[in-house]
Amino acid sequence: MSHDTIAINQRMDKFDSHDSVWLFGYGSLIFKADFPFLDRRPAAIRGWSRRFWQGSHDHRGTETAPGRVVTLVPEPGAHCDGMAYLVTPEEFAHLDYREKNGYLRLATDMHFDDGSTVEGIVYIATHENAAYLGPAPERDIARQIALARGPSGPNSEYLLHLAQALREMGKVDAHVFEIEHHLAAFGVRLGGPSVAG
């Protein structure tokens, strides 16, 4: 499957008749909401784990030196904390472009802190897309992130902003925090160098 998924996502019409739809963000959508929304609430989805296994050729890397960004991988019993946004269906034209590098819109249940559940949309890059990089040791992932840079800036900023946002939400993600630890060992911190020395 091509890593440009805009056309595929435009065919998803499950929520087209709705006035508003909940969108689940688990990566840059947590800390960079560059779209209007009607409401925003912390949420979680079940059966998925956040992993830096997706290549970024368009935002945090290049075709020849891709960065790494998060996707979700199925894991029984797991849950992934993130931020849910209530948006109008018109926003998906922008979101489809933003998430075009291998991500597909999927319907999912989101669970809120008050115990309520709602069905909405999440973008997931599966192992079948051309930009998928797959698993690697966290230290190796950190090294790749430390060196990668794309049109949206250093790959390290993405990781560090995500780790910071999760802490501000009071959430723990061992995978993200271990990569952050390795980046710090390479001398990469928010506001610091973007390339490991």
Q: Which residues are catalytic?
A: 99
Axis-axis angle for helices 138-147, 174-185 (nearest 10): 60
Supply the DSSP string of 75-106, one letter for each residue.
EEEEEEEEEEEEE-GGGHHHHHHHTTBT-EEE
- To the nearest 10 degrees (0 to 180), the angle between helices 174-185 and 155-168 is 130
Instruction: Measure the CA–CA gap between 60 and 15, rounded to whole angstroms.
Output: 30
Give the position of tokens 């998803």.
Answer: 12
The distance from CA 121 to its chain's CA centroid, rounded to whole angstroms, is 13
Radius of gyration of the chain (CA): 16
How many Cα atoms within 13 Å fall on the side-chain side of residue 114?
3
User: β-strand 104-112 against 117-124: which pairing, if any?
Assistant: antiparallel
